[in-house]
Each structure stands twice: as structure tokens, then as C-alpha cells.
């Protein structure tokens, strides 16, 4: 089992089956409200799970990432545009890193 092509084929087969089986097994429209609401929120949850740790670990300090996250959430809550939230969060990280560096 040291052949790299065997590993690549197994990885291909598993990935392909995961994507192929739902398309072939589910042909009718899903009418179950609980399942439909679950499937509706899957992309948002997946994006959040991938983004949240990256926000905290992308900076030199945990605290600058946390402050940027909190400020971004507050700005988004008050209706600031996506570009404005991104620019303000970057500014918060920059200022926090400067303060941490000189303390």
C-alpha cells in the first residue's frame, strides 16, 4: 500500500461517492420542514465554522483578533456595509498590534 496512486484513487472514490449519492438517491423535492430548514442553514454554519478560528489566529495576538471580531460584529449589527466592516476591523487589528508592540 505504499503506492501513491492507490491513496489518490481511494480519496477520489470517497469524495465522488459523497457527492454522487445524494444526487442519485434523492430525486423528489424534500417536503419535510425540519430537514429543509436544516439544509437551509448548513452553508452559513459551515462558513462560520471555517471563518471564526481563522479570525482569531490570523493576527500576531489573540487579543487583536478578538477585538476585531467584536468590533466587526458590532458594526455589522448597526448596518455598516461589508466593506466598512472589513476596513474598520483591519484598522482595529493594526492599532491593537501597535499598542501591544509598544507596551
In this predicted model, what pLDDT tens digit does every residue of 5-58 receive, in sequence order? 999 999 999 999 888 888 788 778 888 899 888 888 888 888 888 888 888 888
Burial of 31 (0-12, 13-18, 19+ CB in 10 A): exposed
In a domain, 7, yes or no: no
DSSP state of 26: -
pLDDT value for 1: 55
Domain residues for the domain of 98 are 32-102
Mean pLDDT value across residues 1-5: 77
In a domain, 15, yes or no: no
In a domain, 19, yes or no: no
pTM, two decimals, is 0.62
The rounded distance, in Å, linking the Cα atoms of 98 and 47 is 30
DSSP state of 76: H
**Total domains, the chain:** 1
In a domain, 90, yes or no: yes
In a domain, 82, yes or no: yes
In a domain, 6, yes or no: no
In a domain, 24, yes or no: no
In a domain, 48, yes or no: yes
Amino acid at each position: 500500500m505504499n503506492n501513491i496512486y492507490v491513496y489518490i484513487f481511494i480519496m477520489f472514490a470517497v469524495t465522488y461517492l459523497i457527492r454522487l449519492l445524494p444526487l442519485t438517491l434523492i430525486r423528489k423535492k424534500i417536503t419535510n420542514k425540519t430537514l429543509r430548514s436544516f439544509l437551509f442553514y448548513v452553508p452559513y454554519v459551515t462558513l462560520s465554522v471555517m471563518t471564526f478560528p481563522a479570525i482569531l489566529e490570523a493576527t500576531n495576538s489573540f487579543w487583536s483578533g478578538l477585538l476585531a471580531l467584536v468590533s466587526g460584529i458590532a458594526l455589522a449589527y448597526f448596518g455598516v456595509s461589508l466593506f466598512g466592516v472589513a476596513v474598520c476591523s483591519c484598522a482595529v487589528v493594526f492599532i491593537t498590534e501597535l499598542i501591544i508592540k509598544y507596551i
